[in-house]
Structure 1
Amino acid sequence: MTIERVLYLLQLASPALPVGAYSYSEGIEALVEMGIISNAQSLQHWLEQELRYGAIRLEAAVMVRTYHAVQNGDIEALSYWNQWLSAARETEELRSSSWQMGRSLIKLLVELQPQVLPLADAVGSCNYAIAFGIAAASWKIEPLSAVILGYLHSWTTNLVTAGVKLIPLGQTAGQQIILNLFSDLTNTATEALTLSDDDLCSCSWGLSLASMAHETQYTRLFRS
């Protein structure tokens, strides 16, 4: 990877990217409320299971397909996988957060590089993983394994930050959790590259229940 492409990836995966990721906890707020996540160990365990078996695996694998679709100019595949990912979202909160972040990233990308407008028009209500794949392919970031790691690391950092605020934890504990998850991040990224269409499945009922509980939670800091 050239230095220039490293900079593109850092910008795309940066917490400063104006997509609103900081406002979502993906059910962690509800889990803290219920006492299921109460310390650094339980937060790390939750994120480990999500990386190994949860919906984030699907997002990463679909992002890979998006990257290839953009490279091949396959608008039909791009639209198909965006619709597929929307259908795979089990709750309104999860679907809305994915669409909102995707819409924000696509809007930013169009402003930075107007030539991607046809791709944006093709997908309509764009999921975040789709928008991330479009941006990575448009900016010619490679290798693809680095793109996946950037996506997964950004997801992990956002949820650890949410946990630090909610439990609460110290910043050092949050950084230790991220370090402890490096092997899971690497394994999930490798798996996302090789998953066939028939293997696109997840065990995310825990996330679904947490997300549904969050919809009716009385006091909330986060939108999911």
Structure 2
Amino acid sequence: MTAMADTAALVRLMTWLSPAFPVGAFSYSGGLEQAVADGDVQDASTLRAWLASLLAHGALWNDAVLLAEAHGAAGDAARLAAVTELAEALSGSAERHRETMLQGGAFLTAAASWPHPVLALLGEAAAYPVAVGAVSAGHGVGAEAALAAYLHAVASNLVSVAIRCGVIGQKDGVAVLAGLEALILALADAAARSTPDDLGTSAIRADIASLRHETLPTRLFRS
């Protein structure tokens, strides 16, 4: 791939995972709003610990493995269909299912501005990490780059959630992201070499927060 093609792929990746891309990520907290209400996340330190757990041991690790599998399956209709079904089945709650499927569908709709045969293989609905992984592969974005960008984008959105919940300010938000940088890079490297056998989580408190958020009386976010 030429330097110009590399740059074009990078720009597309930045566009797809920017806050301006119409996937509605701003409206979801992945259970973080419930964690704030419960007092589990109170400041920058507890937010960083919460996000680190999600990345290394929670739903975001599974997302990374699914993204990597979708990236490798982009040219294989049967394999891509299998990971698409698996990703939807792994949604641990109604809100988590709605979050990943609606964002994935919105991503595919918007990504149609960059036509590619992989979009026909995915159809109109796919979990968010599967959509990002397959489309990234189709446009020549490397797996590790796609993974790092995806994990950073999700972490950035959750930091924004914490800011809107009044837990931290913008300065602390930047510091939290800086503190997660090494972990994100390490997990992107690990996930790029993963297989579906590496799926699994142990962030039980985060999973429970996602479930309990369905009945949180006053909510800013859809999950």
TM-score, normalising length: structure 1? 0.93
Distance in 2 (CA, whole Å) between partners of 1:50 and 1:132 is 19
1:161-190 residue CA offsets vs partner (Å, 9 max, x unmatched): 101111332111100100000111011111
- Give unmatched runs, 5+ long, in structure 1: none
Backbone CA RMSD of aligned residues: 1.5
The aligned residue for residue 22 of structure 1 is: 26
CA distance in 2, matches of 1:17, 1:166: 23
Counterpart residue type for residue 148 of structure 2: L
Q: Displacement of 1:87 after TM fit?
A: 1.2
**2:69 pairs with 1:65:** yes
Tell me, yes or no, if structure 1 residue 91 matches structure 2 residue 93: yes
| 2:141 matched residue in structure 1 | 141
Deviation at 1:110, TM superposition (A): 2.2
Between the aligned partners of 1:50 and 1:82, the Cα distance in structure 2 is 21
In structure 2, how many angstroms separate the alpha carbons of the residues matched to 1:22 and 1:197?
Answer: 28
- Compute the displacement of 1:20 (Å): 0.2
1:53-202 matches, cutoff 5 A? 53-70=57-74, 73-113=75-115, 115-121=117-123, 125-142=125-142, 144-202=143-201
Secondary structure of residue in 2 paired with 1:112: coil
Is 2:44–2:167's contact at 8 Å kept on the other side of the alignment?
A: no
CA distance in 2, matches of 1:111, 1:184: 33
Contact 2:66 2:196 in 1 (8 A): no
Aligned length: 219
Deviation at 1:102, TM superposition (A): 0.3
User: Secondary structure at 2:201's aligned position in 1?
Assistant: coil
Secondary structure of the residue that 2:125 maps to in structure 1?
A: coil
> Could you tell me which amino acid in structure 2 is paired with residue 183 of structure 1?
A
Structure 1 outlier segments of 4+, above 3 Å? 114-117
CA distance in 1, matches of 2:26, 2:48: 18
Give the letter for the 2:179 counterpart: N
Distance 2:26 2:59 in 1: 19
The percentage of aligned residue pairs carrying the same residue is 29
Q: Give the TM-score of the pair, scaled to structure 2.
A: 0.93
Encode CA deviations 1:97-134: one digit per residue, 9 max, x unaligned.
0000000011112243164442232xx53100011012
**One-letter amino acid of the counterpart of residue 73, structure 2:** A
- Is the CA contact (8 Å cut-off) linking 1:51 and 1:57 kept in structure 2? yes
CA contact (8 A) 1:82 1:127 kept: yes
More divergent stretch after superposition (12-21 vs 1-10) = 1-10
